[in-house]
């Protein structure tokens, strides 16, 4: 093993570790003061700044025997960028805090940085890393704060759905769930830890790759806002659960067309990071969105129905206090 691969965070220290990571992270054309000072300074086109924060913690959010450091960094970008885009904003930068055990190989953090850089390049090439923090913890933990610019648009909230709207979704729903189930089955068959060879074989399956490092079509959030979406949100915890949140916020019911349903994973699977939106019936939907249902009066029904009936599911979506990885 090369000496650089054997180095741990404890051996190298914070200063030298940051010196290896920071050059890998992209900047932003809007950044007037970048990493290295007490705060970052960002020049915006408007005075409306959109912000969101999300954490990824080893155990409940990812497993080291499933995900490479690059995949973890990439996935962290996907989940955060999608939240900003779901308001109709353009991502302009992220603030990244990482805490890791002292014995963590430095190369793992280098991999995280590569994944972050690739995620930004794939989904928000004009955004950059504005700053962050590095600390120690018992398990690898990432906290990402993402900033966005409305660029004169009105934020599209999940509370704006109107009776009579069409309901549309983007992305290939259920792919992440199908990949997760393949990983879960292989891990269970192997006694609880996924062997490296089994992981290598599973990575030939595109659904597994999509679960470990999803690539969201972030630009579709702005496209939906520009097309007049009445309500908009990221599909991160499963279609039924997220549609329930949108319906509850709007005081309506979302009725999904039975012919739109692919399988149970399509209804309940999370982490695909497509978008759920409602539009006026006469609206021209952006390319990438497909009509999956309609907005109707709530009445005595649950928030989400399929063909007028409550969906029968093993579970309704991702819950961090009930589910793992």
pLDDT by residue, tens only, the chain of 325 residues: 455 557 888 888 777 887 888 888 887 777 777 676 555 676 776 667 888 889 999 999 999 999 999 999 999 999 999 999 999 999 999 999 999 999 999 999 999 999 999 999 999 999 999 889 999 999 999 999 999 998 989 999 999 999 999 999 999 999 999 999 999 999 999 999 999 999 999 999 999 999 999 999 999 999 999 999 999 999 999 999 999 999 999 999 999 999 999 999 999 988 999 999 999 999 999 999 999 999 999 999 999 999 999 987 765 665 655 565 4
Residues 19 and 142 in one domain: yes
Q: Is residue 118 situated within a structural domain? A: yes
CB 31 within 8 A of CB 41: yes
Q: Is residue 209 situated within a structural domain? A: no
Residues 11 and 124 in one domain: yes
Residues 145 and 220 in one domain: no
Q: Is residue 95 situated within a structural domain? A: yes
In CATH, what number is assigned to the domain containing residue 137?
A: 3.30.1330.10
Q: Is residue 39 situated within a structural domain? A: yes
Residues 27 and 127 in one domain: yes
Report CA torsion sign: 242, 245, 246, 248: positive
Domain of residue 265: give its range.
Answer: 166-171+216-306
Q: Is residue 321 situated within a structural domain? A: no
What is the model's pTM? Answer: 0.86
Q: Is residue 155 situated within a structural domain? A: no
Residues 245 and 141 in one domain: no
In CATH, what number is assigned to the domain containing residue 232?
A: 3.90.650.10
- Please give the tally of structural domains in the chain: 2
Give 168's contacts (C-beta < 8 A, 6+ positions apart).
276, 277, 278, 279, 285, 289, 290, 291, 292
Distances (CA, A) of 266 to 24, 82, 170, 204, 322: 36, 19, 12, 21, 20
Q: Is residue 228 situated within a structural domain? A: yes
Residues 94 and 10 in one domain: yes
């Amino acid at each position: 093993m090369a000496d650089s691969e054997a180095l741990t965070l404890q051996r190298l220290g914070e200063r030298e570790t940051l010196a290896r990571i920071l050059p890998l992270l992209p900047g932003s054309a809007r950044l007037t003061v970048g990493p290295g000072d007490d705060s970052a300074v960002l020049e915006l086109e408007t005075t409306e700044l959109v912000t969101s924060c999300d954490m990824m913690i080893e155990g409940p959010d990812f497993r080291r025997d499933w995900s490479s450091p690059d995949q973890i960094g990439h996935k962290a970008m996907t989940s955060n960028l999608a939240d900003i885009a779901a308001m109709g904003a353009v991502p302009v930068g992220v603030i990244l805090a990482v805490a890791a055990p002292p014995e963590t190989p430095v190369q793992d953090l280098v991999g995280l940085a590569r994944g972050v850089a690739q995620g930004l390049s794939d989904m928000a090439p004009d955004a950059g890393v504005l700053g962050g923090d590095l600390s120690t913890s018992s398990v690898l933990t990432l906290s990402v704060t993402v900033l966005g610019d409305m660029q004169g648009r009105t934020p599209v909230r999940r509370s704006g759905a109107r009776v009579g709207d069409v309901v549309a979704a983007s992305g290939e729903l259920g792919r992440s769930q199908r990949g997760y189930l393949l990983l879960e089955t292989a891990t269970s068959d192997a006694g609880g830890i996924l062997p490296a060879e089994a992981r290598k074989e599973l990575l030939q399956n595109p659904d597994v790759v999509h679960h470990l490092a999803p690539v969201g079509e972030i630009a579709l959030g702005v496209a939906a806002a520009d097309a007049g979406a009445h309500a908009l949100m990221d599909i991160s915890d499963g279609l039924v659960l997220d549609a329930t949140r949108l319906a509850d916020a709007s005081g309506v019911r979302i009725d999904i067309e039975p012919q739109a349903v692919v399988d149970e994973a399509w209804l309940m699977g999370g982490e695909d990071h497509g978008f759920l939106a409602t539009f006026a019936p006469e609206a021209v939907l952006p390319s990438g969105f497909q009509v999956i249902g309609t907005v109707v009066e709530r009445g005595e029904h649950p928030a989400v129905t399929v063909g007028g009936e409550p969906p029968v599911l093993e579970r309704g979506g991702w819950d961090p206090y009930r589910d793992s990885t």
